[in-house]
Structure 1
């Protein structure tokens, strides 16, 4: 095998090319980048929109919450769609769809239209799931961590790009609509790229077939015990929608009676989904799968918990960090926002590094566990930040913590596509949805606890997830040169299956 430095240099050099699988990688991360530009195009203009339309702080917070409200179920449903129809068509459809709610939001003159269009836009946040399967189809297992890390890290940077570029676009378009023109432009750009993406890529390399689930309508599992585990995993994905409804009722968007109706509807939905899982997985309940056809559902559960802690904490911290820096150090809103933006900027390097470490360290599970422990230490350091600290040191602590957060995301998705490639879209959707569940849970905690307790809780939950990661099963063929090969983890040299 080549030495690690040679491997690292070779991979970095290959990323500069625009040929073969690297062309697909670059086209796909940019598609994801645009979905995040669209998804986060409200934040840079929240104060301006509030002033122009006479919105209260509570109403602005409500719009921000609506921006993520439907992303959880959308990621699950998009995972099912891409396993069935392929990532090329699904990603193209999401990008084209983005133009519709973007235009509606840009033309809105009332709080109700802003809420409705933002709810519709929250679906665009599910685009992340699609590229995970596209990239995994084009890259061999031994390179998948690096490729998925670049896809996730560079695409995720779309949120920071929106914050830095859209205000300038609005100024330039001042005579023809200002912020409205800037937001509408993101939708038009996404739709145009979606049409291009449909023509520019294929779901698999030439000569490869696209594996689809044997059964549709719910994640296909392979043992009776896995059916019960999937039923349990499904509960938080529905329950978090009740949490969103409660928070919307709390700011006065609707009455307690309406909240009760929503919660009852969600209960019916949970029963219906559970019944669907039970029906689709009748063969698993009957023990119809041979040992060689089974995959461990516990790996899906552990990876979901990992993304809950990593991506969930990233979304939550990015939302609160500007206010935290402003309150702690007396900084202006602009300076606090710029200082806190360092947390998001780490995505460009940290997430690819996490994936690269997973590719090179010899065990994907041990790599993830180590990074999660580093994340816990990072949040412990953030809990110590106070007004007596120099601002530069506090910023350094935030960036150090951010490195482990985003490296953990990269290490998580270095494993996700390998658990069971045939249903990797749905597995990716569930794991991705748990990231949004984590964000909503941590932000709800922040309503009742101060920043110190907030950071300590995230750190403690990272320790717990690192502990349960011992139940994570190293995927067969984790370091193979091609899909379908088997690798002896003690000697990571591919052998024929």
Structure 2
């Protein structure tokens, strides 16, 4: 009876895309801009793209900036670390904000609050001020969490990996696009008549303006959920206004979130590291022109056009056939192969060979990012935002640690650091083997013999009193829709007669 009541609440709403019982889209049509599902998709990736452009606008211009500000190798390394460290706690905070206030408000607020730091980069006059503006600009990368949360709120289990992969991948394109955009903008301003030391400063107004405009677009045109914004749903009683302590508790006590945070640190964290070092690496090691180094570096980030989305799609394909176990196996294989290619990249001594290996490495590294967020939405329903924040924050922690250990100062050459980074990827991917869902299984073991179901797993996040008040209804819907994670080739937990509805 309860499930029938839940279904009846959503049947009267009309959407362009087909939806499930949560009004989440069951189809993903990338060329559509229909509200609310596909509009949210395009707003999320474009705004995240803008934040990536701003955060990594400095690296392609470092050869000019370091001469202007008299930066040492340590200063440059510290600034690179600062750019990705700010988002560590920012991503966790963003997860909490999404759980409590929704993606639209949380995302637009952060993007707008960090835009001034991009503008202020133009007046940096020392190593300290350069580090500070990169640090505060880097907070904008926390919008990755709102992007993934938004997609998980708009798209059903069958296509959520694809939606998360494409939104995250196209947003990450900003890290590659800025390698092309900033040298081009710099060159145009320089040709107009500005000196090199003035031209790089003016160039920063372009990403700053782009970022600010994207914040307004998200706020005025976005929508938190298929059925409306959080404020409206809380007021109408359709959505329970959760308690931060409960949401936080169920996130930090779920070990799967911690493992994904670690492994994400060595796919996305590696991607952030490469975005910071690769242009300077090719410029210094192979003596290529600044613009050429920018093009080579851009090719790494631009692979996100298809690699991260491909990872998300692969996750959904594997789940359709093998369930959650297929998602986990695909993630481990792709990330481990990425680690082996990273080791090889540090060993190759020719320019052409390095470019070729870097391109293949980028595909595996970024696909692993997409595969990770094919798993994340299923770790917790109630604490999805914080789990996404923990995982995303793990990516930034991985980037910080990797840069501090291998690319700060002159202890290691850049090529040696890249090789060691590959070894770290391989080692830190192994814990994926320990992720186990009792209703679906893990890499080496099938579902629990106790016959636990999706309801059993997701209802554990709610107390008896909360269930009596009906606060668990969204989790009930999600449990019913996530039976697709059983797959076709994997024996899963039995479904009780009055339990999970068939999908």
Identify whether the pair has TM-score above 0.5, normalized to the shorter chain: yes
**CA 331–430 in structure 1, closer or farther in 2 if over 3 Å, else same:** same
Kindly report which structure 2 residues correspond to 1:312-323, keeping only aligned pairs within 5 A, or say none.
312-323=269-280
**CA 115–313 in structure 1, closer or farther in 2 if over 3 Å, else same:** closer
Which of 74, 77, 89 aligns to 1:73? It is 89
State the match for 2:155 in structure 1: 139
Judge conservation of contact 1:304–1:430 (CA < 8 Å) in 2: yes
How far, CA to CA, are the matches of 1:14 and 1:343 in structure 2?
A: 26
State the match for 2:383 in structure 1: 423
How far, CA to CA, are the matches of 1:70 and 1:437 in structure 2?
A: 10
Q: Does 1:167 align with 2:131?
A: no
How far, CA to CA, are the matches of 2:370 and 2:347 in structure 1?
A: 32
**CA 123–385 in structure 1, closer or farther in 2 if over 3 Å, else same:** closer
How far, CA to CA, are the matches of 2:289 and 2:364 in structure 1?
A: 28
97-106 vs 465-474, which moves further? 465-474
State the match for 1:442 in structure 2: 402
Q: CA RMSD in A?
A: 3.4
How far, CA to CA, are the matches of 1:391 and 1:124 in structure 2?
A: 34
Unaligned runs of 5+ in 2: 1-25, 442-453, 458-474, 490-494
Kindly report which structure 2 residues correspond to 1:250-269, keeping only aligned pairs within 5 A, or say none.
none
User: Displacement of 1:341 after TM fit?
Assistant: 3.3
> 1:440-479 CA distances to partner (integer Å, 9 max, x unpaired)?
222233244453564355345435524543424259499x
Judge conservation of contact 1:304–1:435 (CA < 8 Å) in 2: yes
Which of 212, 220, 224 aligns to 1:203? It is 224
Kindly report which structure 2 residues correspond to 1:97-246, keeping only aligned pairs within 5 A, or say none.
97-174=113-190, 178-206=199-227, 209=233, 214-216=242-244, 219-222=247-250, 230=252
431-440 vs 377-386, which moves further? 377-386
How far, CA to CA, are the matches of 2:310 and 2:175 in structure 1?
A: 20
User: Displacement of 1:332 after TM fit?
Assistant: 4.8
How far, CA to CA, are the matches of 2:294 and 2:396 in structure 1?
A: 22
**CA 336–197 in structure 1, closer or farther in 2 if over 3 Å, else same:** closer
Judge conservation of contact 1:146–1:356 (CA < 8 Å) in 2: yes
Aligned pairs, number: 416
How far, CA to CA, are the matches of 2:360 and 2:48 in structure 1?
A: 25
How far, CA to CA, are the matches of 1:381 and 1:192 in structure 2?
A: 38
SS of alignment partner, residue 178 of structure 1: helix
State the match for 1:28 in structure 2: 44
Which of 392, 397, 412 aligns to 1:432? It is 392
State the match for 1:248 in structure 2: none
State the match for 1:242 in structure 2: none
Return the structure number with greater helix share.
1
TM-score by length of 2: 0.73
TM-score by length of 1: 0.74
Which of 258, 261, 267 aligns to 1:310? It is 267
**CA 372–193 in structure 1, closer or farther in 2 if over 3 Å, else same:** same
61-70 vs 118-127, which moves further? 61-70
Unaligned runs of 5+ in 1: 1-10, 231-295
How far, CA to CA, are the matches of 1:19 and 1:193 in structure 2?
A: 18
SS of alignment partner, residue 414 of structure 1: helix
**CA 202–411 in structure 1, closer or farther in 2 if over 3 Å, else same:** same
**CA 378–41 in structure 1, closer or farther in 2 if over 3 Å, else same:** closer
User: Displacement of 1:343 after TM fit?
Assistant: 2.2
Judge conservation of contact 1:83–1:212 (CA < 8 Å) in 2: no
User: Displacement of 1:328 after TM fit?
Assistant: 6.0
State the match for 2:483 in structure 1: 487
State the match for 2:318 in structure 1: 361
Judge conservation of contact 2:258–2:390 (CA < 8 Å) in 1: no
40-49 vs 192-201, which moves further? 40-49
State the match for 1:471 in structure 2: 435
**CA 434–186 in structure 1, closer or farther in 2 if over 3 Å, else same:** same
> 1:265-320 CA distances to partner (integer Å, 9 max, x unpaired)?
xxxxxxxxxxxxxxxxxxxxxxxxxxxxxxx7121122112201211122223333
Q: Does 1:84 align with 2:100?
A: yes
State the match for 1:399 in structure 2: 359
